[in-house]
Structure formats: structure tokens, C-alpha cells
Amino acid sequence: MAIMVENNGRLFNLHTKDCTYQMYADEYGVLLHTYYGKKIDGENLADLIFQADVGFSGNPEETVGNREYSLDCLPQELPSDGVGDYRESCIALLHGDGSIAADFRFESYKIFPSSYTVEGMPALYDKEDEKGETLVITMREKASKVTVRLFYGVFEKENVITRAVRVENRGESEVVLTKCLSGCLDYQFGEYDLITFAGRHAMERIPERNRIRRTKLEVGSLRGTSSHQYNPSMIVCTPDATEDFGECYGLCLVYSGNFTACAQKDQRGQTRVLMGIHSEKFSFCLRTGEYFAAPQLIMSYSDSGLSKLSQQYHKILREHMCRGAYQYRKRPVLLNNWEATYFNFNKEKLISLAEQAAKLGIEMLVLDDGWFGKRDDDNSGLGDWHVNEKKLGGSLKELGDRIHDLGMKFGLWFEPEMISEDSDLYRAHPDWALRIPGREPNRGRNQLVLDMSRNDVREYLFERLADILEHAPIDYVKWDMNRSICDIYSHQYAGSQNGEVYHRFVLGVYDLLERFLQRFPDILLEGCSGGGGRFDAAMLYYSPQIWCSDNTDAVNRLEIQYGTSFFYPVSSMGAHVSAVPNHQTGRVTPFRTRGHVALSGSFGYELDLNKMSEEEKAIVKEQIEDFHKYYSLTHEGTYYRLTPPGERFCAWEFVDEEKDHALQTLVMTSAEGNPLPVHTIVKGLSPDKYYCCSVNGQVHSGRTWMGAGLTLRMVPKEYESILIEWNVVEKGLGRKPI
């Protein structure tokens, strides 16, 4: 069993293949966090906790004068607010009498032979032949009838431990939950760095690494979504940690709304790390019998560097978070019309693009924004989900049938969560928008946000989307969301419940997505929020691929896709080849380089094919052949980061499961006179197998390739790229070894 309970039901060891997570409920019922790291035998490690009389750190009443016992110094699983732990807490309550204390103590536990679910939210799920285990620990608040259930899930083979929280009011008066984070890790000893993933629209998820000190490090989002600015994922690692060395702890929140992630050393040098829903602008009223469920936190540990940690996340998210028809099915190569036409299109333009695409081997045409209502720019029409047949020169079914007749699939863009003030929907239902009465709203793109917490709003959207998809041959939907949420006010949850709206909005989005996929299970759904503004584990539950960034510049994409790869599988990254000069940066890069970069993702094009040269069209055919040739590597293989962006060149590698085939991509990012040689490392091969390299025909053992690496015979020019393959051969084949 992965979950072991000893010491009269008070010592809990969660074992995965390579690690152990240990907790101990002490004599006062405080649930202590005693260990997380390399796999151990599971003896009680509470004796590692050093207790001393620390000035200004008070003592619980049960200790009867024992000044060495203080919540302010103990490593805990559920640090609470207002009861003597002055560090960051996980949970805070506002009681009916105005008090804010929350003192939770251990009551009981249960073990279940399967993974748990989180009501209304995504969570890692069991497969028929791969089931997790669940430990549920019940904690009771000392002076009230509020209970907390801590859920711990163990995926033994994948080295993953999850955590979720459920708070229930069993008392007779209402309680307001003002903070509820999903997880806490307390490290008693050691120095650690914190890696977070920051950015902005069109430059998302750029890694930042800082030493954890007594000055609090905190990132998060108050934009209503997980955001372009910060991602709900972070890594705690030893200062010496590299891709292949050092201890690393990953924390990935399964949530698409406001979140916080923070780390700080305390007065005794202990490190506390927390993650969950942001407590600012959050409150949740719990009446008698009501409960609140916090989102799942996915934790993973590696004792051999960042690469292994990333690979564990790639596997668990690809196999136990992504779902549906396209979880494993090959994704079609698509052409999105956006950068080819923007809003200026008609049926003839679209058919012309499709005809050219079909000749080149592209498998799907996606019609982006502008096909509905009054929508010739981004100032009107959102919410009016009725096909503009005048603009299309006929019905959507006629257009879709024409695309299908060319042997292609047909996709469509939606932005369901938004509403334009210049729309029939807004004129009919102004109360459906998130807008504070008596105040002018903060506008983004001249659009407001629909109140997704309302059943009637979701019902309208579902009916409109379903009506469109049931009357046209749609194979793919791009689900966009193009502004941050402000002016938070719901007519349904006004007054004391207004602090619930941000979270209820997210639950409403999940509800609509789930209903949509239940009705249309064979559709490929791609998530989007101005590119990567909602690229998180929760959205992968609904959309197995997410548009990685609105920035399609190949050089910028090196950074964006590099940062994204620390947690999210390459198969989830929407990546396209676009025109040059690039529409976002003005940079000119070779067509082949744009293809090589986009190949590390779910592949497609975003340009006007009719403006390409014959040489470029020939390259498109080659790129599509490469996509199919290398698909099992890029979408199912093991991924290695070889160099970070910002050096002379950027390189990464895929290796198949059998370790018979490897593919490395290398992009030169700078040029210099009298250039130095380009030497790249090689990873992931089997030491005892022999491999032939595609660029020089040399044969070496995997041990030799990984030890010595490869030197290119010629130095590529700036922004040029190269694909390098290693294929298993019999010893002695190929050219004579060096």
C-alpha cells in the first residue's frame, strides 16, 4: 500500500516510488508535517522537531505552562489564523460573534482505494488499470462546529501526491470563510530557491529564480483568471539544483482563477510555502450544513533535478488530467485564418485559403473571430451568438460542408464568457454583465464580462453554442477569453456574498465546459485567453491543448515554450507558424526555423497561404511531413531542456519510451564574428545501445553520446535551426566512429 498508518492511527506515511510524505498528529491533536523527500522506511520523525522557549511565541492552553511548545514554531499541515502561529496561515474564519480564531485539531482518518474528486472542479482521475489511493484526515475547530477534511491522493508510480481541502459548517450559526489555501509545506532545515513563472500578455511563463529569505516572496493573480502575469505553479529547490542534479519540489494548483503562491523563512530559519485561492477579495459564507471545497494541489518531488520533476508533471497531466477523444488521438494540422484576414473575410477568401491548405497537406481550417452578430471589429457583437450569414454568403453548414468536401476538418472560434455593450444580448439583459450599479465600468476591448455564476447566463450560452454546433459540421472549437475581470458585482450574489463571485465565476466556467463536452465529446477543444492567460492544469481537464501565447515570433516562443515546459506537456502547447515580419515583434526569421519551433507543440499555421512563394509552400509540405513523422516523439516522448534561452543557441530534445529514437532541435539565437563551434549535449539515450546521428552519420553507444555530446560541422547563422536525430542501429553500422 502507498498509504501507511501507524502509532495508533496518528502517524501517516504516504509513499510513492521515490519519495515519502509524513505527518504526525501529536498529543495535542496538532497535525505536524514531519517529512517530505527521498523515500524512507517511515519511522516517526517528529523527534527532528526542535522545541525551545522562543520569546513572543505563545503556548496553547493544553500545554499547561510548557513554554517550549508553540504553534508559531512548529511545522504544520494546516496552519490556522488567530491562534498563535504568526506566520502565513492556510485557513481563516470569521465567526458570528466577530472573532477570527481558527484552531483545528486532529479527529479521525479514513483510507480509500481510489482517487478523490473535488466537487465542481477538475482533479486528477483514476484510469481503469492505474488507481491512486486517498487518505482523508478530519480536523475539528476547537471552539466551534467547523470541520476541515484534508484530502491526500497518492499516485505511486508517478511520484505525485495531491492535496485538497473541504471546510464544513456543522454549527447552528453561519461562519464566513475568509481564507482557504490548498496546501502548505514546512521545511525545518535547509536553504531553498523558489522558481516562479512570470510574464505579461504575449510573453508568458518566463522563469524567475530567487533565494527564499525572511522577506516574503509572493506571486499570484487578482485578475479573475490564472493570468498571463503569473502561473499557478512553482518549484522549491536546493540552491545547487540544475536540470540533472538537486532536490526539487513542484506545486501546481488545479485552478483557473485568482490564486496566491508564497514562500518565506521564519524567525528560526524554517521555510513555509503555501498555495491556493487568493484571500484578497475572497470570502465565502457557510450556513449550517454548507461546505466549501478548495481546489486540488498537485505536488511532486525529484531528487535528481528539474528535468525529472518536469517529466513527472508531463506524465501525470497528460494521462490523469487530460481527457476525451483527443487525449491520445493525433491532433490535426490546422490553419487559423486570424493573421491572414483578421475581421476582413468572406466566403470566397475562406474557401481560397482552404483550397490552398488542402493542397499542402493541412488538415483543418479554423474560422476565428468575426463570423457572428454585428462583428467587424472588437467593439461589438459579443454575446450575440448567431451566424452572420450575410457576411459568410450563406449558412455555416454550407461553409463547413465545403471545407469537408476538400477533405479537411472545420473549426470555429468562440468567446462565450464575454459580452459587448453594443450587442442585442446586453440591451436585453444588462444585469447579466459583471458591473457595479451606479459606476461606469472598467472596459477592456470595449467588452464586459458575463456573470458566469448565474445559471440563466450559462443556460443561454449552452443553448446558443449547442444550436450552432448541431447545425454545422464543426470538428474543433477555440474557446477564448480576452480580458481580465474587474468591477466584480453579481446581482445574484450581491451584498454579503459578493466575496464569493470570483470563485463562483470559475465554477460556472467549469460547469459550462463540462456540459459542452458531454454534449460534444468528439470535438477537439482548444483553450485560450489572449493566448496563455489561462494556461493551467485545470483547463487541461477540458481542453487537451491550449493556445500557448498570442506571440507567434519564433525567437520569443523559445522562451515562452521553455518556461511552459517546466510543468505542462508539449502536447498541450498550441504552436503555429506565422508570417514575417512577425505581427507581434516585426522580427524576420527563416520559415524552417518557425516550423521547427512550432513542431514542439500542437502544430498549425496562422498566415495567408496565398501570399507564400512556391519555395515556402514546398517547405510547408516538409514541415507537415515532419509533424507526422515525429508526432510520437513530440507528443508522447520524454522531454529534455538542454539549454535555456538567452545563450548562443537554444536546444531541446525528445526521446521515445523505448529509447530507440531521439530528436533534438537547435536554434541559433545570436551571431558573432569568427564564431566558436556549436557543441550540444545529448540526454535520455540507453547507455548500452548504439545510435547513428543524422547530421554526421557517426555511430556511438548511448553512453558515449551522452558523455561526449555532439559538435556540429558548421555553425548555423543567426535564427537558423537544425533537427538532429539519433536512431538505434546494430553496432558497427554507419560511418567509422571518430
C-alpha–C-alpha distance, residues 670 and 557, integer Å = 15
Do the beta carbons of residue 548 and residue 575 sit within 8 Å? yes
Angstrom CA distances, 113 to 1, 153, 299, stand at 9, 10, 19
CA distance 481 to 528: 6
Q: 438: which DSSP letter?
A: T
Question: Which residue among the candidates 85, 103, 186, 536 is catalytic per the annotation?
Answer: 536
Please answer whether residues 525 and 534 qualify as being in contact, where contact means their C-beta atoms are separated by less than 8 angstroms: no
Write the DSSP assignment of 595-643 as a string of letters.
HHHHTSSEEEEES-GGGS-HHHHHHHHHHHHHHHHTHHHHHHSEEEE-S
Q: Please answer whether residues 439 and 452 qualify as being in contact, where contact means their C-beta atoms are separated by less than 8 angstroms.
A: no
Angle between the N-to-C axes of helices 614-629 and 347-360, in degrees from 0 to 180, rounded to the nearest 10: 60
Q: Does the annotation count 616 as an active-site position?
A: yes
Only one residue has cell 497537406, namely 361
Rounded Cα distance between 94 and 180, Å, is: 12
Distance CA 157, CA 151 (A): 19
605 contacts 361 by C-beta, under 8 angstroms: no
Cβ(616)–Cβ(605) below 8 Å: no
Asked if residues 126 and 115 have their Cβ atoms less than 8 Å apart, the reply is yes
Instruction: Let me know if 417 is a catalytic residue.
Output: no
Catalytic residue among 130, 290, 487, 616: 616
> Does residue 411 sit in helix, strand or coil?
strand
- The separation between CA 548 and the C-alpha centre of its own chain, rounded to angstroms, equals 10
Q: Would you say 139 and 106 are in contact if contact means Cβ atoms under 8 Å apart?
A: yes
Which positions are annotated as active-site residues?
536, 616
